[in-house]
Amino acid sequence: MDAEQGVYLYAVTRDEGGEPDGPAGVAGAPVRRLAHRGLAAFISTVSLQEFGEESLRRSMEDLAWLEEIARAHHRVVEAVARRGPTAPVRLVTVYTGEAQVRELLDERHAQFDEVLRRVSGRWEWGVKAYAVAGPAEPVAETQDAAPGAAYLNRRRAALRGREDGWRRAAEHAQAVHEALMDIAVAGTRHRAQDPQLSGRREQMVLNGAYLVDEARAAEFARVVEDPAERGVTLELVGPWAPYSFAALDHDGETAYGDAS
Amino acid sequence: MSAVRSGPYVPGSSMQQQGYGGRESANLGDILERVLDRGVVIAGDIQVNLLDIELLTIKLRLLIASVDTAREMGIDWWEHDPWLTGDAHELAKQNRKLRRRLAALEEIVATRAEAAHEPEAVERGR
C-alpha cells in the first residue's frame, strides 16, 4: 500500500453479506469489505495527509470537519448494521494497511465473535428524559417578617421548589429507566447532555441507551409513550447500531450494560 | 441488494414512524456522542490518543466552537457535576448539605441583624 494512504475502519461484522452497496465513506471514498476468518471489516482508503496523527490532532478540533467525518462514519455504520449484527468502531480508527486490519481480526477474533453474538437481532434505542418545570409553589408570606427575612424565605422556597422539581424528575427518570430495563436485554445510563448539545432548555435527567430484542421493540416504545410518565418529557431515538453495547473488553456478562 | 435499503424492518408501527432511514437527519449531538464516546475502542496504527478525544467530547458537549474559550472556561467542571453525570443520589446528598449550610448562614444573618439593633443599648448600659 502507498505510504501516503491508510485504512479507515468503520465496523466489524460476520463474513456473511455481499460487497457493500451503501453510502461512501469518509472523504467520499468507496467502502469495501475485508473478509478474514469468518469476520468482515468494513474499510475505506484515506489519505494520511488528512488522517495522519498530526493532522488529526488539528482537525479533530475543527467542528465542521468533525461533523462531516462523524456523519460519514455514522452513515456507513448504519448501512452495515442493516445487513446484520455489527460492532461499530469508534471514530477515526486508522491503520497503515490491510495487513494490520487482518491482524486485528486475528487477535480479537473471539471478542468480536462474542460482541456480534450479543447484539444479534437487537438494536440500540436511546431514551432521554427531561425535567418538566412544575408549577411554582405559593410562598406563604409572613406579614411581620422583615424585608430581608421575607426575601430569604422566598429564596429558600424557590430553591426548595426547584430542588423538589429536580428530585421528582430524577425519581421519575429512575422509574422509567427501570421499566425500560425490564424489557431491554441491557441498558446503560450515559451522562446527561448539556442543554446546548441536546438543543432543549429543560434539564436532561436521563440519557439512557438500551439494547432491545427486535421482537420487543414495540413493547419498549410503549413504555416511552406511556402517558403515566408525566413528571418528565420522554424522547425515543433510534434504532441505532449497538454503539453502546459493543465494548470488546467487557469483564464477562456482569460488567456490561447494566449500570442501573 | 436494494432490499437492504428498503426501509424499516423493526416490527411495530411506532418504530416505522420513526423510520429507520430517518436517522440520516439524526441530531448531530446524538451522532457525535455515539461515534466519539461509544463503539469499539481498538488501537489503530494512527490514532489521536483517547484522552484528547475525551477532552474533545467534553468540549462538544459544551458545544463551544472555540477551543480557546473552552480552555478559559475550564473544561472539566462538568465531569464532576453529579447532576450531569446522572448521579442523582450524590446530588440529593449535596443538596441536603447545601440546605444545612444555607440554614446556618441564615441563622447567622438573623442573629447579626438582631445584634445590629442592640449594640447602642449595650454601649449605653456601660
Whether B105 has its CB under 8 Å from any CB of chain A: the answer is: no
Of A52, A67, A191, the CB nearest to B85: A191
> In three state form, how does the secondary structure of A87-133 look?
EEEEEEEEECCHHHHHHHHHHCHHHHHHHHHHHCCEEEEEEEEEECC
Do A114 and A93 lie in a common domain?
A: yes
Chain B residues within 8 A of A93 when measuring between CB atoms: 42, 44, 47
The residue in chain B having the minimum alpha-carbon distance to the alpha carbon of residue A174 is B88
Partners of A218 in the beta sheet? none
| pLDDT digit string, tens, across residues B96-123 | 777 888 888 888 888 887 777 755 544 4
pLDDT of residue B60: 59
Of A60, A163, A218, the CB nearest to B15: A218
The residue in chain B having the minimum alpha-carbon distance to the alpha carbon of residue A52 is B46
Of B11, B23, B65, the CB nearest to A78: B23
In total, how many domains does chain A have?
2
pLDDT of B84 higher than 70: no
Residue B66, all three cell numbers: 472555540
Whether B1 has its CB under 8 Å from any CB of chain A: the answer is: yes
Flag whether A260 is in a domain.
no
Do A135 and A248 lie in a common domain?
A: yes
| pLDDT digit string, tens, across residues A233-245 | 899 999 999 999 9
Higher confidence at residue A233 or residue B5?
A233
Where in the sequence is the domain holding A227, given as residue range(s)?
Answer: 122-255
DSSP B40: B
Residues A18 and B28: their CA atoms lie apart, in Å, by 30
The enclosing domain of A224 has a CATH number of 3.30.70
Do A61 and A158 lie in a common domain?
A: no
In this prediction the ipTM stands at 0.79
Chain B residues within 8 A of A146 when measuring between CB atoms: 113
Rg of chain A over Cα atoms, rounded to whole angstroms, equals 24
Nearest of A73, A221, A63, A206 to residue B34 by alpha carbon:
A73
Pairwise CB contact (< 8 Å): B33 & A96: no
Higher confidence at residue A43 or residue A135?
A43
Residues A208 and A112: their CA atoms lie apart, in Å, by 24
Taking the model in full, what pTM does it have?
0.69
Flag whether A236 is in a domain.
yes
End position of a domain, from candidates A74, A89, A119: A119
| pLDDT digit string, tens, across residues A184-224 | 999 999 888 777 667 777 888 999 999 999 999 999 999 99
Proportion of chain B above pLDDT 90, given as a percent: 0
Whether B88 has its CB under 8 Å from any CB of chain A: the answer is: yes
Proportion of chain A above pLDDT 90, given as a percent: 55
Binning pLDDT at 50, 70 and 90, where does residue A166 land?
confident
Binning pLDDT at 50, 70 and 90, where does residue A229 land?
low
Whether B18 has its CB under 8 Å from any CB of chain A: the answer is: yes
The residue behind cell 498530526 is A54
| pLDDT digit string, tens, across residues B28-68 | 778 888 887 777 777 777 755 544 555 555 555 554 333 34
pLDDT of A97 higher than 90: yes
Do A53 and A147 lie in a common domain?
A: no
Chain B residues within 8 A of A167 when measuring between CB atoms: 88, 92, 95
pLDDT of residue B49: 54
**For strand A5-14 and strand A39-47, is the pairing parallel, antiparallel, or unpaired?**
antiparallel
Flag whether A212 is in a domain.
yes
Partners of A210 in the beta sheet? A125, A187
Virtual torsion, Cα A145, A147, A153, A159, nearest 10 deg: 170
Do A152 and A199 lie in a common domain?
A: yes
End position of a domain, from candidates A94, A119, A144: A119
Task: Give the other-Cβ count within 10 Å of A173's Cβ.
Answer: 28
Of B29, B31, B106, the CB nearest to A198: B29
Flag whether A163 is in a domain.
yes
